[in-house]
Structure 1
């Protein structure tokens, strides 16, 4: 078990060029811990193979995304990626170290992303239906379940994701 991180010791910053190796290792660890039992070894192996093959561009394709790291000292404990498209934004790659969950890190990371997307009235995330705790996390932070859709998990593998939507009124401009 990893040492628990006090939420006050967390620093959130943008993903930087030098973060690639650390991010890929973090996502490998989180995916293995999170999806290994719920999706099965074949799907997980295909996901990890895709991560190895595509590297950072698999998560950050370079279409105006913003990546966020949650750090305790220099240790990566969370990530999030968002892409703004007009007054709507899409969120993915929202992961917290499994040994650090339920301490407020995910809430703090999500709050920082929402604050950074000041001109966005709708934020949409996907949570795998096989991850009910992720759906509950978003619902507990004001997101509403807005239907389901099939998504590609890895080459040759798909799953069902809950569409989670957060809406807010923007101040008049």
Structure 2
């Protein structure tokens, strides 16, 4: 996507991100508030990755790394712009970040009831591990 800009969120983006999640993310989390997102950006300034087109937020993913395992949360794409490669670009950016950090295996938190997302995760090479209710993808295979 030539006109897609991928970048890390800054503290100035928090309100925009929270408003975006209300329309683009499936379901909500107890940490979907300004304090929760602010803690994330303060602790790991590169973890919240944004996709912008023409200056507008069109996608997000949280790419957290705890030093051992890589975790993906809040992959969300504007419903009007889905199936245009935005989610794939965000996942590629997250996987590149994890590789730079030395991550070898990652998991994605995906709501069981969010069947719309299941196809996208499978297309990106992730497989569900129903035992743990997460989706995983080895980075070094």
TM-score interval (norm. to shorter): 0.7 to 0.9
Task: Mark the CA change 1:126 to 1:91 in structure 2 (over 3 Å): closer, same or farther.
Answer: same
Find out whether 1:130 has 2:113 as its counterpart. yes
**Cα deviation, residue 59, structure 1:** 3.9
Q: Using the alignment, how far apart are the partners of 1:48 and 1:131 within structure 2?
A: 14
Find out whether 1:25 has 2:19 as its counterpart. yes
**Cα deviation, residue 49, structure 1:** 8.9
Q: Using the alignment, how far apart are the partners of 1:122 and 1:60 within structure 2?
A: 26
Give the equivalent residue in structure 1 for 2:44.
64
Give the equivalent residue in structure 2 for 1:163.
134
Task: Mark the CA change 1:99 to 1:125 in structure 2 (over 3 Å): closer, same or farther.
Answer: same
Structure 1 gap ranges (5+): 1-6, 36-46, 150-161
Larger % of strand: which?
1
Q: Using the alignment, how far apart are the partners of 1:82 and 1:48 within structure 2?
A: 16
**Cα deviation, residue 87, structure 1:** 3.7
- 3-state SS, counterpart of residue 69 of structure 1: strand
Q: Using the alignment, how far apart are the partners of 1:69 and 1:19 within structure 2?
A: 9
Task: Mark the CA change 1:103 to 1:13 in structure 2 (over 3 Å): closer, same or farther.
Answer: same
Whether the 8 Å CA contact 1:124–1:163 is kept in 2: the answer is: yes
Deviation digits for residues 23-52 of structure 1, max 9, x if unmatched? 121112224xx44xxxxxxxxxxx48974x
**Cα deviation, residue 105, structure 1:** 0.8
Deviation digits for residues 37-75 of structure 1, max 9, x if unmatched? xxxxxxxxxx48974xx31x3345334361111001210
Whether the 8 Å CA contact 1:59–1:93 is kept in 2: the answer is: no
Structure 2 gap ranges (5+): none
CA root-mean-square deviation: 2.2
**Cα deviation, residue 148, structure 1:** 4.8
Whether the 8 Å CA contact 1:60–1:67 is kept in 2: the answer is: no
Give the equivalent residue in structure 1 for 2:65.
84
Q: Using the alignment, how far apart are the partners of 1:122 and 1:17 within structure 2?
A: 28
Give the equivalent residue in structure 2 for 1:110.
91
Report the TM-score, using the length of structure 2 for normalisation. 0.84
